[in-house]
Structure 1
Amino acid sequence: MAIVTLLAAGIVSYFASPHPDGLERVAEDHGFLEKANEPSWTAWIPDYEIPGISSPMLKVGLAGVIGAAILFGVLYAISRPLSAKPREEGRRE
């Protein structure tokens, strides 16, 4: 199931909207987007594209796969302790 989800993230992410997200749109509409030219830090995956890859489909698809894999990892790390079975009384480990 995880493999199917990663493949879907890689393929579907190429067809994502090229339009700016909500915050960028508000900044454009109110004319203060230019004030934020120099970011204070660089994102790991800026603009949902992997830098250094020339193929548009590959750099966006790979960003989708990496994002989905990170999400799986975080959810697994959170759910693992929550799903641990309680020890039975009187049972030695």
Structure 2
Amino acid sequence: MTRSNRALWIAGLVLALLVAGVGSWYASSSPDGLEWSAEESGFAHTAEDSATANSPLADYQLGGEESRLSGGAAGVIGVVAVLGVAGGLTWVLRGRRPAETRE
């Protein structure tokens, strides 16, 4: 990996973490489109909690707390988890090429 590519990847990672950790502080607390349409159509009262409603990252919050810090931490954990899974899959599935064919 060249120096400029490495810098680009690091900048992308920092940007993703900033958006997840800080940008989420400014997210709307209004219901999403599905919840809004259910309320407008009159069937929102039939909704039930999912089996994962008590999980640590439910409702994009950490441990059920509703605070900016909790939401930001949940976002950062999500970014790290997605990048970990994607990086791991890439590492496993890309295969090893002989050294002379690498660029």
What is the TM-score normalised by the length of structure 2?
0.66
Percent identity of paired positions between Structure 1 and Structure 2: 40
Determine the structure 2 residue equivalent to 1:10: 21
Provide runs of 4+ in structure 1 moved above 3 Å.
none
Counterpart check, 1:41 vs 2:80: no
Q: Give the 5 Å matches for 1:63-82.
A: 63-82=74-93
5+ long unaligned stretches in structure 1: 89-93
- Bigger helix share: 2
Q: CA deviation at 1:64?
A: 0.8
What is the TM-score normalised by the length of structure 1?
0.72
Q: CA deviation at 1:69?
A: 1.1
Q: CA deviation at 1:52?
A: 5.1
Secondary structure of the residue that 2:62 maps to in structure 1? coil
Taking the aligned partners of 2:64 and 2:15, their CA distance within structure 1 comes to 26
Q: Which has the higher contact order (CA 8 A, sep 6+)?
A: 1
| Equivalent residue letter for 1:48 | Y
Q: CA deviation at 1:82?
A: 3.3
Q: CA deviation at 1:24?
A: 1.2
Deviations 1:54-80 (A, max 9, x none): 6x1211111111111111112112211
